[in-house]
A and B are shown apart, each in its own frame.
Chain A
Amino acid sequence: AQKVTQAQTEISVVEKEDVTLDCVYETRDTTYYLFWYKQPPSGELVFLIRRNSFDEQNEISGRYSWNFQKSTSSFNFTITASQVVDSAVYFCALSEEGAAGNKLTFGGGTRVLVKP
């Protein structure tokens, strides 16, 4: 069975500090996809990034960066120079192989609180 673990339930930082969110996953699939989503207080989930299991290149998008390490089954997310608007719950998710389409397994989420 697939599993996604986000060990940090809540992280509190002061604005402009960097914050790294950990994500560790388990799967028997050889091909899989990993996702990060942001859930602001309004409730909807906002898609941030997708990574496939064959691409271990790190990615940077503005103040966001992602570190995918297949050897340790981790897909960590860093927010550089955090801002108050980054306050949200962040979810890591893993897609499941199967004929019936795209089923996502979510981690428990990490709440990030950025204080001014």
Chain B
Amino acid sequence: DGGITQSPKYLFRKEGQNVTLSCEQNLNHDAMYWYRQDPGQGLRLIYYSQIVNDFQKGDIAEGYSVSREKKESFPLTVTSAQKNPTAFYLCASSIAGGRRQPQHFGDGTRLSIL
């Protein structure tokens, strides 16, 4: 079945450590996105990519990095510079075509500090 796969489901980070969250989609979507969700709050955009080898910062990009080497993959690295990384991270993708296209989401990765 087509969809978005995020792994791992749960991730723990030690102080000073970088961790990478995986996001893979087989929907043949051009655009991919990373969001952060804090308890009781809405989603905030971290990074997005409209095409391979290109990506843009969202509203809260500090302390995060991404790459887009393949159409189907958009990994997110939470660096040690992100001082409050505990959150639920959601990856999404959409057909290219701008604002009218709905985004489709993965099941999320829950990141906690050890």
Residues of A whose CB lies within 8 Å of any CB of B are: 4, 6, 9, 31-33, 35, 37, 42-47, 50, 52, 91, 95-97, 100-104, 106-109
Contacts and interface: CB of A to CB of B under 8 A. Distances in A.
B105 A44 contact: yes
A110 to B, nearest CB: 10
Interface string B49-71: 01000001010000000000000
B94 interface: yes
A102 B105 contact: no
B81 to A, nearest CB: 23
Contacts of B94: 102
Interface residues of B, number: 28
23 contacts: A33-B100, A35-B102, A37-B105, A44-B90, A44-B105, A44-B106, A45-B92, A45-B105, A50-B100, A50-B102, A95-B99, A96-B99, A97-B99, A100-B48, A100-B50, A101-B50, A102-B94, A102-B97, A102-B98, A102-B103, A104-B45, A106-B44, A107-B42
